[in-house]
Chain A
């Protein structure tokens, strides 16, 4: 059975790598439809990334090359931990801490790589990315904290899905906050401040080019996919979709997972099309309010509800 688990894990990583740009393509298509235009083909982001991977970077500093490849590999490790297409993950105790660490460090490494670029735009972009992501990760940490506290369990596979572990008001609060956060974590429009193209000329990415830029964009898309699938894993009862085939356990939960992910990106795209961009201080004010709420929910969890 070990080799079956291994194939699932490898498949999991591959599907995540391909699904992230695909969902972004769907988002761009839906956003275009809302803006009364045809919009790019669904596979457009995959074409962009494949073109960028084949192009050599120009005038890059070694520091940004190393930092970006580190952040890309962190994102790959993250796909091992969070079950996306198949209900399988490494699943050792307190892997949630690693999930939070990896999520935070991918964006911090991106900010550091941007500073290495030494242009004023990337400097400002990295400062925005750093401050924004700190606020978001704080809220995610509180949410995962409440889940762990309310169920007394600190390994991810045991937490999934929430239905079997019974419902508590604190868990409900945590999950609604996580739902809003999956939108913000993806740095979608009101919050796409670090790479605000018209303001600071795609701030964080301004100095990357060719393969480095491809890796940076791919990491960014992967993070979006993983946080959304983290949220969906809590709700999706994957056991229903198992079925036996000659002694082996075939996991078909990829089908509902894909349907929900596509639905989620359509909803995200429509909301993104209807928003302007917040200024950094307005965004931080909103995130501070969410942090206080999530702290309240955590206190609720400690109190035992």
Chain B
């Protein structure tokens, strides 16, 4: 699910703010300014979704913007890419369970599936707001220029040997004292 080969040299990007706090949006504008200058990769910010190849979606997809988000996604010619920028877009951010937001791109994709609408390729760029370099890294991952560092990871907590033995010892001790107490009870009853 990455950016198609067609856009390797020239990626036109449409910025779609679905109710974000606009910290991510000014970092997106920051990409064009001299220090980061994404135009050297051929990335250009365009004014209409029809010219665009990829949507930079920021914000937790506010309920009021929903019709227009769907219209914008439909208006992008195939093949289309959606980059979710910031923790609001990737997982809903602080307002993931608020009454007036959809809760980020994962819920949007579920919503699009339910209504049988086209699903774009998705790339997640977490951060609140993600540094401009993090966004460039996201696009580089999409282009398979760099290896993706962030991988699903499971770490297991190991308990020391004598710890486990201590717990077993204690629970055995408790069981014996319970037995003794039950025998004592039977004795008293009889």
Contacts and interface: CB of A to CB of B under 8 A. Distances in A.
Interface in B38-71: 39-40, 42, 44, 46-48, 50-51, 53
Interface in B68-124: 75-78
Interface stretch (A52-60, A91-99, A150-158): A52-60
Nearest to B48: A206
Contact of A209 (B37, B39, B42, B50): B50
B47 A197 contact: yes
Nearest to A58: B77
B34 interface: yes
B51 A48 contact: no
B40 A202 contact: no
B7 interface: yes
B151 interface: no
Contact of A202 (B6, B33, B47, B75): B47
Nearest to B37: A37
A47 B39 CA distance: 13
B34 A37 contact: yes
B152 interface: no
B47 A38 contact: no
A207 interface: yes
B9 interface: yes
Contacts of B7: 51
B10 interface: yes
Interface string B5-31: 011011010000000000000000000
Nearest to B79: A55
Contacts of B40: 37-41
Nearest to B40: A38
Interface in A184-222: 197-198, 201-202, 205-210, 213
Given A56-B77, A58-B75, A36 B51 contact: no
A202 B39 contact: no
A35 interface: yes
A79 to B, nearest CB: 25
Given A44-B42, A51-B6, A56-B77, A206 B37 contact: no
A44 B10 CA distance: 7
A141 interface: no
A39 B37 contact: yes
A202 B34 contact: no
Contacts of B47: 197-198, 201-202, 206
Given A57-B77, A202-B48, A39 B10 contact: no
B42 A47 contact: yes
B10 A206 contact: no
A26 to B, nearest CB: 14
Interface residues of B, number: 22
Contacts of A258: none
Contact of B48 (A39, A40, A201): A201
A207 B50 contact: yes
A17 interface: no
Contact of A47 (B9, B33, B34, B48): B9
Interface string B151-189: 000000000000000000000000000000000000000
Contacts of A48: 10, 12, 42, 44
Contact of B77 (A38, A39, A41, A55): A55
Question: Which of A40, A44, A54 is most buried by chain B, counting CB atoms within 10 A of its CB?
Answer: A40
Nearest to B45: A197
Contacts of B77: 55-58, 209-210
B48 A51 contact: no
A40 B78 contact: no
B39 A205 contact: no
Contact of B39 (A40, A58, A207, A208): A40
Contacts of A206: 47-48, 50
Nearest to B12: A48
A48 B9 CA distance: 8
B50 A59 contact: yes
A58 B50 contact: yes
A32 interface: yes
B6 A54 contact: yes
A185 B7 CA distance: 31
A54 B10 CA distance: 12
Nearest to B46: A202
16 contacts: A28-B39, A37-B33, A39-B39, A40-B42, A44-B10, A44-B39, A54-B6, A55-B77, A56-B77, A197-B47, A201-B48, A202-B46, A202-B48, A206-B47, A206-B50, A208-B50
Which 4 residue pairs across A and B have the least CB separation, nearest first? A209-B50, A201-B47, A37-B37, A47-B9
